[in-house]
Structure 1
Amino acid sequence: MATVEAYETKTGRRWRVRYRTPDRRQTDKRGFATKRDARAFAATIEVRKTMGTFVSPTAGRVSVDELATAWLEKKKQSTAPSHYRTLESSWRTHVQPMWATRPVAEMTTIEVEGWITAMARRGHGTTTVRRAHAVLSGILSDAVKAHRLVVNPALGVENLPRRVARRHRYLTASDVHALAVEAGEHRVLVLLLAFCGLRWGEAIALRVGDVEFLRQRILVSTSAVQIGGSHQIGPTKERRSRSVPVPQFVLDELPRRCVDKARDDLVFPGPDGGYLLRPRSSTGWFAAALRRAGLPTITPHDLRHTCASLAVSAGANVLALQRMLGHRSAKVTLDVYADLFDSDLDDVASNLDAAYAPETVGTTWAGSAGISTSFLAKSRLISEDADDIPPSAEVG
């Protein structure tokens, strides 16, 4: 148990709390002006030891920079290379200059909120601010798990800017075919992106052996992520393989990309035989094909959104769409493409009307309040016989 002791200083009496840490080491905290404050601290220490939330004062002296190295290494192992690159850049550009040398125990939520406000005032966008906050919060969460902090001061901030969802741009099927014609040698790639929903990195990493012509499927297990002018090869974004259905008219186009190739050869190689670089946003082949087809400006990734739209229009349900696109869960699919399922609400009303309208169920309705005559008749019978109902029957 913690003990409270008095000691004398030049400015008067002060109080000291002696206690043992969970690993049985003796320590103390000095400088309490009153015995009441010392006892309150002692009680807090004992409660935290019992609850398993005790944090040694010396443990919180570690700097954010010291913890960031391990956190970034963990993220490097568990996330896609492209995502890790954004996290590392955010740490180096926004988090490290402000917090690197700060002991984690000295940080407060108010300071974190001030940092967020300062970034917004300097003109940083919502994504930049939220990513920087996520990096700092992730590092401090590790401090909590390592019993260096009791709570994460980056959690519960009130001024984090809200994301404004960007409305997806969808092409029609005829738009896609027109774009494919104008894409020339990249025709099959455009069809694959728009009708199978592969991510760009997944499509350019596709190998001949991944195309299952008899099953009308494509096995997607690898992604080639472009970082600068080179590619890093790794698993898909969700780090798991999936089997993607291929419409027959797209499957009929694929043999011309696979002829005279070995199973391990790329289906869509670049000019040098390596991985195909992403087309430049304004001067690349994709932008040129859009202009020739008279279509609005979109990115190759927008063809993935188009695939979702076309699949839903063709009758695909949420679970099928989730598996096709490789989302972690159906919730992610609904969150990303909620606008595609707006018509489902109209269908609910139409289906209810068709199934339960008065002429369908044989019920006549009385008055504008919509109370059926059969219900009114039953109510009168119950009212008339109310005196005959046993007391126990009145409950429930």
Structure 2
Amino acid sequence: MSDWRLKLYRGKYAAVRSVNGQTERFSLRTADPAEAKRRLADFAAVPVGETVKEIVEAYLDDKDKTAIRAKDLRLAWKQAEPTFGPLRPDQITRDVCRKYRDKRYALGRKPATVRKELEVVRAGLNFHKKGDQAVFELPPPPRPKERFLTKDEARRLIHAARRYHHVRAFIVLSLATGARQTAMLDLTWDRVDFERRLISLPLNDNKDEQRKRRAVVPMNERAYRYLRVLKLSAQSDHVIEWAGGRVLSIKKGFAAAAKRAGLPDVTPHILRHTAASWMAMADVPMFQISKYLGHSDTRVTERRYAKLSPSYLKGAADALDW
């Protein structure tokens, strides 16, 4: 077995080695040579034991350095560890997974929560090439929510948020950009280009590659006018602000506005789904919607939104006409 070495693969460095004539490759998720060398040293130094606990915790130690939401992974593992930690990978069976699932259900946990907990175990084993020794059975993934706002509902929601300018701004700009909640709250004025009418959602820091993808999107006329007004009264670097400071969470104010608008089932994420749905219903090409949302693969967009397009399957239907 040879030592790990660096190799540039599709623009990012990876740790590569040859084992019994087979190449193993793990992405180091950086294009910077110096950072790649540091991550390679950390990666190669991670001790991997024989128990699931040792393997998964080595995986989590790596994620602490590279993942934005590493804390969430550890919280999920905290629940799974008592059941899976003492086992070897080959001792994980469908029956073990089912018993764990049933135990968590009995405590009132939802299928999506249990699935995330099992996914952390599986990801840890796969990260260190131990996953083929285990047999997993996971609860089915939750069906995506189909709820999106009509334009009349959007107007009602914006009107209901009139008392709180930060909530109103969040709603208007989220609908105009399709941005995720975190990306919208992270937006600063230095990334709003009025001259070229562009909004740059990436933070352009060394953690961008660890986040869910963020796009650079054009301002429509509504967003342009709204941002101009906001800029005149800006008291901080952040576009969404309250009392001269950054807004860390919009949930409470948004929920109050949604309730006031008679839309208690609407959450901030539905604004992103609404923006994508409106584009699809206007027959915007899927690859453009994908780029606008920052999806890494057009297929992700198509699975969710193609059915809303007026031209979806129209060619197939026309072929059956006579």
C-alpha distance in 1 between matches for 2:224 and 2:131? 57
Please, what TM-score do these two structures have when normalized by structure 1? 0.61
Which runs of no fewer than 5 residues in structure 1 stay unpaired? 1-21, 24-48, 54-58, 224-232, 358-396
Q: Determine if the alignment matches structure 1 residue 213 to structure 2 residue 185.
A: no
| Corresponding residue for residue 301 of structure 1 | 269
Q: Which moved more, 1:61-70 or 1:201-210?
A: 61-70
| Corresponding residue for residue 238 of structure 2 | 266
- Please give the per-residue CA displacement for 1:219-242, whole angstroms capped at 9, x wherever unaligned: 11139xxxxxxxxx9538755552
| Corresponding residue for residue 220 of structure 2 | 247
| Secondary structure at 1:252 match in 2 | helix
Q: Structure 1 residues 112, 60: closer, same or farther in 2, change over 3 A?
A: farther
Please, what TM-score do these two structures have when normalized by structure 2? 0.74
- The one-letter code of the counterpart of 1:183 is A
Q: Determine if the alignment matches structure 1 residue 62 to structure 2 residue 43.
A: no
- The one-letter code of the counterpart of 2:125 is L
Of structures 1 and 2, the one with the larger relative CO (CA 8 A, separation 6+) is 2
Q: Structure 1 residues 312, 153: closer, same or farther in 2, change over 3 A?
A: same
Q: Determine if the alignment matches structure 1 residue 257 to structure 2 residue 243.
A: no
Q: Structure 1 residues 260, 175: closer, same or farther in 2, change over 3 A?
A: closer
C-alpha distance in 2 between matches for 1:106 and 1:164? 27
Aligned partners of 2:180 and 2:272 also within 8 Å:
yes
| Corresponding residue for residue 169 of structure 1 | 147
Q: Structure 1 residues 271, 122: closer, same or farther in 2, change over 3 A?
A: same
- The one-letter code of the counterpart of 1:127 is A
- The one-letter code of the counterpart of 1:102 is L
C-alpha distance in 1 between matches for 2:98 and 2:147? 35
- The one-letter code of the counterpart of 1:268 is I
Bigger radius of gyration, 1 or 2?
1
Superposition misfits of 4+ residues, deviation over 4 angstroms: 49-53, 105-110, 236-241
- The offset of 1:302, in angstroms, is 0.5
C-alpha distance in 2 between matches for 1:183 and 1:237? 33
- Please give the per-residue CA displacement for 1:350-386, whole angstroms capped at 9, x wherever unaligned: 4x58xx96xxxxxxxxxxxxxxxxxxxxxxxxxxxxx
- Please give the per-residue CA displacement for 1:202-230, whole angstroms capped at 9, x wherever unaligned: 1111111211223222111139xxxxxxx
Aligned partners of 1:211 and 1:218 also within 8 Å:
yes
Which runs of no fewer than 5 residues in structure 2 stay unpaired? 3-18, 24-46
Number of paired residues? 279
| Corresponding residue for residue 196 of structure 1 | 177
- The offset of 1:50, in angstroms, is 6.5
Q: Determine if the alignment matches structure 1 residue 277 to structure 2 residue 258.
A: no
| Secondary structure at 1:253 match in 2 | helix
1:90 to 56, 76, 94: 76
Q: Structure 1 residues 241, 300: closer, same or farther in 2, change over 3 A?
A: closer
